[in-house]
Amino acid sequence: MQKINKENLHTFLNEQKENWPLAKMNYSGLEKVEEKEFQFEGFKIKVQFNPERIKSTAAKIGKDDIQKRACFLCEENRPELQTKIELENNYSLLVNPFPILKEHFTIAKNDHIDQSFINHIGDLVNLAETLEGYSVFYNGPKSGASAPDHMHFQAGENNFMPIDTEYFERKKNYGKLVTWNGRFEVYRFNHYLRKMLSIEADRAQDIVSASKIFYRFLEKVQADEKEPMLNAICVYKNNKYRLHIFPRKQHRPSQFFAKGNEQLLISPGAVDMGGVFITPRKEDFDKITKEDIVDIYKQVSLDDLVFDKLCQDFTKLVMP
């Protein structure tokens, strides 16, 4: 197993910030971004005003739009100054030039193949171990990925998303064991606004097999989609793997498409599901309310009854 330690990542990021003006500008811009937070019962949601993210938030991901543009994750189209760290299994680790996190990396497959969770879940879990202590995350092709045609993950420091720090407390107070089989444990969380299923295991293969079981159930719910809509965040820490899956039913909330004062340009991906809403426009940052957050999570997350049924199926299938 390849391991990339924190110092090497810091060195790589600093080199890119020194030598690549776009990275330098946007990472120093990040130091000045405004953040605020809303307190809910036992958890918080942060909001970040980040104007550089407008490209990603407003990204056109229709088939025609994607075909018309040169893929920015393919090596031949990347900026000359963007360098890489070669990773196992045919991935390249790149500095994300439009950061949300202070250390924000994109991990792109070296081939131009479609974004797919089920075909790369093993890679996600391995990457979490390679980047031990970092959060590695996945956005489905219709759940926040701005390059749905090129397989990629992202990674960042593991103390930025509220989920990173509030998980254990949350599990203790509100977590409900969905199922376990001696090799993995699966939890769900009530009163958390978004739907989240968390899988814990000591071995990578057990996280992978539990994810695959859940994925097969999810697939049936959204049979007309190429991939059921979801985001995922994976962490490897203290010899344990932890994977959070956020099943989705909508890419963008109605506020995204509203006109005038009703509009909120928010396009949730893994980071938003992890508890940080990204607003590229100052007006949205200023006017977003607690009620908007509740409403947006409700719109984009799987419905209660559907999620309950999935969890029941999971319990029945796995429980010893």
Report whether 170 contacts 17 (CB < 8 A).
Answer: no
Site string for Zn ion, 138-177 (x = CB under 5 A): ------------x---------------------------
Q: Which is nearer to Zn ion, 150 or 170 (CB)?
A: 150
CB neighbour class for 110 (10 Å; exposed up to 12, middle 13-18, buried from 19): middle
Q: Which residues pair with 53 in a beta bridge?
A: none
Which of the 8 DSSP states describes residue 81? T
Q: Which is nearer to Zn ion, 41 or 64 (CB)?
A: 64
Total of chain residues touching Zn ion, rule CB under 5 A: 5
In the complex, least distance from residue 149 CB atom to Zn ion, rounded to whole angstroms: 6
In the complex, least distance from residue 74 CB atom to Zn ion, rounded to whole angstroms: 3
Report whether 218 contacts 230 (CB < 8 A).
Answer: yes
Distances (CA, A) of 220 to 51, 231, 252, 280: 38, 17, 22, 35
User: Site for Zn ion (CB under 5 A): which residue of 74, 118, 221, 306?
Assistant: 74
Torsion angle, CA of 190/194/195/199, rounded to 10 degrees?
-90
Which residue of this chain has its Cβ atom nearest to Zn ion in the complex?
Answer: 71
In the complex, least distance from residue 234 CB atom to Zn ion, rounded to whole angstroms: 23
In the complex, least distance from residue 152 CB atom to Zn ion, rounded to whole angstroms: 9
Return d(Cα 216, Cα 238) in angstroms, integer: 29
In the complex, least distance from residue 106 CB atom to Zn ion, rounded to whole angstroms: 12
Q: Which is nearer to Zn ion, 110 or 255 (CB)?
A: 110
Verify binding: residue 71, Zn ion, rule CB under 5 A: yes
Verify binding: residue 66, Zn ion, rule CB under 5 A: no
How many other C-beta atoms lie within 10 A of the C-beta of residue 244? 25
Return d(Cα 37, Cα 289) in angstroms, integer: 10
Q: Which is nearer to Zn ion, 112 or 216 (CB)?
A: 112
Residues lying near Zn ion in the complex (CB under 5 A) are found at 71, 73-74, 112, 150
